[in-house]
Amino acid sequence: MQSRSTGAYLGWTAALFVVLFYAFVPVLWLVSLSLKTPATVSDKNFVPQDVTLDNYTTLFEGGLDSPLLRPLINSVAIALIATVIAVTLASFTAYAIARLDFPGKAVILAGALAIAMFPPISVVGPLFDMWRTLGLYDTYVGLIIPYLTFALPLAIYTLVAFFREIPWELEQAAQVDGATPWQAFRKIILPLAAPGVFTAAILVFIFAWNDFVFAITLTSSDASRTVPAALAFFQGESQFTAPTGNIAAAAVLVTVPIIIFVLIFQRRIVAGLTAGAVKG
């Protein structure tokens, strides 16, 4: 019995290491590349022989005209704005879907799901033409709108699940206590749905942050180009040197905001917020 559980423990540990190895090797490789000098980029050493931070510093040389600073600002701004709008709208929608009985509820949910499954690549062509006509091409708004289209269904689905978990009696208790529907929503429902709101926020932020298809198609300058698109425009020091080190450094930097964002909000995703509300 004892040996079997020890064996299982070792087995699981081994499996865990395989997964970790699989997940981390590409990341570590990127880090390794980003610390190498151009001369040693292709020396096939996993651990850099002589470490340099040049790849990072050159990304920011020249302030706002630098290769990465302006795209980084664009990325953060666009992803944050899209996240805030999507989560706000989605929480209203999800609340209505979870609580109210209205005609067309099923259609809204099915429609949202259909849109979420739509391949983005099939809409970028028409969007490109439309945005140029409307003057939205190469603007923040031009990117935020398509992001919302895909982020909203995601957020709605996440939030509906959370809202359904909140006992309806709580809201009725608030109504009897003298709350307007808005007060009941803001003071009772929303605080309890916080884990759902943050989960949705993380998902939407990551989606907007990682997008490449819309970013590369609907932007043409640093005015609105986001980091994933900007990476594709990196140039080497001469046309014969590939900017491998710079791309690796930028790739490492791009993951940092995501990690910070997730770490901040993950702390708010705690289970059992509604514990003690109702009995039975």
Partner 1 sequence: MADIKLHDITKRYADGTEAVKHMNLEIEDGEFMILVGPSGCGKSTALRMIAGLEDISEGELLIGDRVVNNLAPRDRDIAMVFQNYALYPHMTVRANMGFALKLAKVPQAEIDAKVEDAARTLDLTEHLDRKPANLSGGQRQRVAMGRAIVRDPQVFLMDEPLSNLDAKLRVQMRTEVSRLQRNLSTTMVYVTHDQTEAMTLGDRVAVMRSGVLQQVDTPRVLYNDPVNIFVAGFIGSPAMNFFSGAISNGKVKLPFAEVAAPEGVSHSGDVIVGIRPEDFEDARFAPSDHPAGVQFTAPIEVLESMGSEIYVYFSFEGGEVSSDELAELARDSGIAETPSGGAGLAVARLNPESDISQGQRAKLWFDGAKLHLFDPADGSSLRRAEQEQEQAAQAAQATQEAVQAESEKAPSARADAEQDDETTPE
> Which residues lie near partner 1 (CB under 8 A)?
167, 169-170, 172-180, 183, 187-188, 191-192, 272-280
Kindly tell me which of 63 and 178 has the beta carbon lying closer to partner 1: 178
For partner 1, the closer CB: 149 or 274? 274
Closer Cβ to partner 1, 4 or 267, answer by number = 267
> Closest separation between CB of residue 60 and partner 1, Å?
43
Per the CB < 8 A criterion, the answer to whether 90 and 161 are in contact is no
Please, how many CA atoms are within 13 Å of residue 2, restricted to the half-sphere of its CB?
A: 0
Structure tokens belonging to residue 205: 């932020």
The two tokens of residue 35 are 């610390």
Gap between the Cα atoms of 89 and 76, Å rounded: 20
- Name the DSSP letter for residue 247: H
Phi, psi of 135, deg, nearest 5: 80, 20
Closer Cβ to partner 1, 30 or 179, answer by number: 179
For residue 157, how many other CB atoms are within 10 A of its CB? Answer: 18
Q: How far is the CB of 109 from partner 1 (least distance, A)?
A: 21
Nearer to partner 1, 16 or 277 (CB): 277
CB of 174 to partner 1, least distance (A): 7
Q: Which is nearer to partner 1, 44 or 267 (CB)?
A: 267
Q: What is the DSSP string of 114-175?
A: HHHHS-THHHHHHHHHHHHHHT-TTSHHHHHHHHHHHHHHHHHHHHHHHHHHS-HHHHHHHH
Quote the least distance from Cβ 170 to partner 1, whole Å: 5
CB of 192 to partner 1, least distance (A): 6
Give least dist CB 184 to partner 1, A. Answer: 9
Q: Which residue in this structure is represented by tokens 């070792």?
A: 10
